[in-house]
Amino acid sequence: MLNGSIPESFSDLKSVDQIDLSKNDLAGRIPEFFANMQFLHQLDLSTNYFEGPIPTGGIFQNHTAAILDGKAGLCASAPATLHQFPVCTVKSKKKALLLVKLIPPTAIALISFICFVVTILKRRQAQAAPCYKETMKRVSYGDIVKATNWFSPVNKISSGRTGSIYIGRFQFNTDLVAVKLFHLEENGARDSFVTECEVLRNTRHRNLVKAVTVCSTMDLENNEFKAIVFDFMANGSLDMWVHPKLHHNSPKRVLSLGQRLRIAMDVALALDYMHNQLTPPLVHCDLKPGNVLLDYDMTARVGDFGSARFLSSVPGSPEDLVGVEGTIGYIAPEYCMGYKVSPGYDVYAFGILILEMLTGRRPMDAIFTDGLSLHKLVSSAFPGRLGEVLDPHLSHGYRHPCDRVFMRRYMVPLIEVGLLCSMESPKDRPGMGEVCARILSLKEEFFEFC
């Protein structure tokens, strides 16, 4: 059942000859554009909750072609318009006088509220500027169809429950883009689109994905269509590099220790920004290697904010409650016991990501049964037997000598960060500010010698 007002996008249906929106919960005024549809011969808006004057001209000149009902407060703007409805009347002088008395205090209250909202928005913008330019080119459904070669399977990069990502290029720009198409027929996809747009609008950081533009319209079959266009990340996801055997188009090279240090630093900086520099704080809620993207120079950027939450300052608010979506293996244990969402959710996932990046093992690999987990596996080998659990590529196959000579010297403290972040109790995990300081010190020392 439809509710709300009739969207302006219906005005694009210029060649339609019949529209039936009866028996819904639609409200507000009947749009004027229906009167301008030359080919419209039948319009059924009955059994809704419309109010106000009925448009004049066009189909509304024929009361048998425009089917309405009078229970919802509709009125005719002239006696000759749909005679079964009362003529819209001007309010009495008494009511007008009352309105005049109410306007000044209402206006003052409204102005005060607007000033308050503007102040809050300015504070928000000072910390988080829009992630896209106000003057960006708007794109249509047709533009996206052409850019992705009609959503060709060849252009598809990845696919999930709520959306698919396609590589493409617009005719008006030579740069490659990644188009995230939302599967609106899936439960939660529309909420993911709204959430991701909100996050992208209120954040800006070099280690977060950047949106180029957003498209929310109707497709050729008049179905709702929503997509977000991002900068294309030339080196794919971290998951492709850590688990190349699982991706047919994975890179042939492997990550050096130095590259893994940089990626860990980039992701830590992104989380520190989200947790400690945004107001209100932002929790990603689905951090994993597949959501860490690498650009042309291997800079890591955190993406896919469809499950993210802005934390409310009001205790017990709906935004803080459990029920967040995530990926098994990266979800902090406390959320299975009814804890509310907190930055500790991301800290745990970051710890698992570090251990996965250094061991090459997924948290849900087949070996992790009977109580054994990735954290416990690494912890049991720490620090003396780390060589037994580390990714074999870290000990051979590198041209850069520093990756071999200094591997053990820098591996132990980085593994320690992963273990601390993935502790079972949230009280035992460090904050992302402390994590950033640890990794930065380690990274600077590593590259000073290498």
> How far is residue 332's CA from residue 78's CA, in Å, rounded to a whole number?
65
> How far is residue 193's CA from residue 226's CA, in Å, rounded to a whole number?
7
Are the C-beta atoms of 165 and 180 separated by less than 8 Å? yes
> How far is residue 24's CA from residue 10's CA, in Å, rounded to a whole number?
16
Residues recognised as catalytic: 286
For 45, phi then psi, to 5°, come to: -115, 20
> How far is residue 49's CA from residue 42's CA, in Å, rounded to a whole number?
19
Residue with tokens 């009078």: 70
Both tokens assigned to 269: 């900086």
CA angle, 168 then 154 then 216, to 5°: 45
> How far is residue 311's CA from residue 156's CA, in Å, rounded to a whole number?
34
Are the C-beta atoms of 307 and 285 separated by less than 8 Å? yes
